[in-house]
Amino acid sequence: MLQFITRRMIYLIPSLLGIVLITFILSRVLPGDPALMIAGEQAPQSVVENIRTELGLNDPLYVQFGTYVKQLFQGDLGTAWHTGHTVIEDFAVRLPATIELGIVSLLIALLVAIPVGIIAATKKESILDHISRFFSLIGACMPVFWLGLLLILIFYSKLGIAPAPMGRIGNDILPPTNITGLYLVDSLLTADWVAFRQALSHIIMPAICLSAGTMAIIARMMRSSMLEVIGQDYIRTARAKGLSEGNVIYKHALANASIPTITMVGLQIGYLLGGAVITETLFSWPGVGSYVTESILATDYAPIQAFTLLSAVVYSVINLLVDVIYGLIDPRIRYD
């Protein structure tokens, strides 16, 4: 098992290098002169030229790449001009909000999608199956930004039962003592019930919005892999042995059907990262995603590049973890 994990980790190295190379190319080779961006359109040529030298933009590309990699190893992702901080500092402040939103969204998606997928498969062609398939069809084609706005419209503007889409907690409430940075966890740890209720009510809408697409895809995946497994011989054998239906479905079928679903969850992390940019912007959620949108509007490139790089790294590492989990669940995979 250890050998399997090591081998998978070694595979990760060239792909990480590739990711760094692509983000580098994006920042240097594509049109758009960073020096001109910093200096402004009307800046005299000499000023632009000075900035170019200062940034090392006049060096040969391979030297620039070397410098870029060196800076990455030193944890230097550049400076965000529009906030005046280094990108790392801004990320450190904003990351907990994004992590909290991401975890809650994924939990909602899994808690709804897996049972729905199982029931839809075991009660195929029932009304519930049709309803769940209808929603997974809709969920897959609804743009995140539109769904978010409809949620705000219905639950805040019209019904008035949701809080204003303005951040993680009400303006008049103090955030809980900072322990993990996740408001829900921190307020539970400090038994700050007011903050907990506030944080919970603020996170529900953005989390549902972000989870919808994932929920739809996982429910569909779960249904189809369950259907496939239920048709297998070993399920018939299990039934023939006289096992209860619950035992057959939840022990024998679910374990086997969960493998493709786990892969899908890994792939969905990428979707969640992209969706977070949009969802956070809609709900003024003070995370990394809304930071990226602010940077886009301010034509500030360093944060965008850094976010691109980090999300690709996170995505790759999570897919590595998925592979490892795979190996744990299904020993056959370790020996390929």
Partner 1 sequence: MNSTQPVTEVVQDPEAISAFREGWFKFCQVMKLFLRNKLATLGLVLIIAWTVVAVVAPLIAPYAPDATELDAKLQSPSAAHWFGTDQFGRDILSRVLHASQISIWTGLIAVAISFFIGVPLGGIAAYYGGWLGNLIMRIMDIFLAFPSLILAMAIAAAMGPGLISAMIAVGIVGIPEFARLMYSQTIYLKEREFVEASLSIGVRNRTILMRHIFPNALAPLLVRITLGMGFAILTAASLSFLGLGVKPPLAEWGAMISDGREYIITGEWWIVTFPGLAIATTILGFNLLGDGLRDVLDPRLRTSRK
Residue whose token pair is 């940034």: 55
Residue 157 within binding range of partner 1, rule CB under 8 A: yes
How many chain residues touch partner 1 (CB under 8 A)? Answer: 61
Cβ proximity to partner 1: between 165 and 176 the closer is: 165
Question: Are 291 and 303 in contact, with CB atoms under 8 Å apart?
Answer: yes
Amino acid at 36: L
Provide the minimum distance between the beta carbon of 143 and partner 1 in the complex, in angstroms, as a whole number. Answer: 5
Residue 301 within binding range of partner 1, rule CB under 8 A: yes
Q: Residue ranges of the alpha helices (H) in 283-300?
A: 288-297
Q: Which of 296, 322, 325, 329 binds partner 1 (CB under 8 A)?
A: 296
Q: Which long-range contacts (CB under 8 A, 24 or more apart) does 119-123 make?
A: 120/219, 120/223, 121/222, 121/223, 121/224, 121/226, 121/227, 121/230, 122/226, 122/230, 122/249
Checking phi first, is residue 77 left (phi over 0); if not, alpha (psi -120 to 50) or beta? alpha
Residue 223 within binding range of partner 1, rule CB under 8 A: yes
Residue 83 within binding range of partner 1, rule CB under 8 A: no
Q: Which of 2, 10, 13, 30 binds partner 1 (CB under 8 A)?
A: 30
Q: Which of these segments, 107-115, 144-152, 170-178, 190-198, binds partner 1 (CB under 8 A)? A: 144-152
Residue 211 within binding range of partner 1, rule CB under 8 A: no
Provide the minimum distance between the beta carbon of 91 and partner 1 in the complex, in angstroms, as a whole number. Answer: 15
- Binding residues for partner 1 restricted to 255-274, rule: CB under 8 A: 269-271, 273-274
Question: Which residues, other chains included, contact 256 with Cβ-Cβ below 8 Å and sequence gap of 6+?
Answer: 229, 232
Distances in Å between the Cα of 271 and the Cα atoms of 170, 211, 214, 260 are 28, 10, 8, 17
Question: Are 271 and 213 in contact, with CB atoms under 8 Å apart?
Answer: yes
Cβ proximity to partner 1: between 198 and 225 the closer is: 225
Residues 5, 327: Cα–Cα separation, whole Å = 9
Cβ proximity to partner 1: between 131 and 194 the closer is: 131
Q: What would the x/- binding string for partner 1 be over residues 170 to 209, using CB under 8 A?
A: ----------------------------------------
For the chain, helix (H) and strand (E) counts, in that order, are: 14, 0
| Positions that interact with partner 1 (CB under 8 A) | 14-15, 18-19, 21-23, 26-27, 30-32, 124, 133, 137-138, 140-146, 149-150, 152-153, 156-158, 164-165, 223-225, 227-228, 269-271, 273-275, 277-278, 281-282, 292-293, 296-297, 299, 301, 304-305, 307-308, 311-312, 315-316
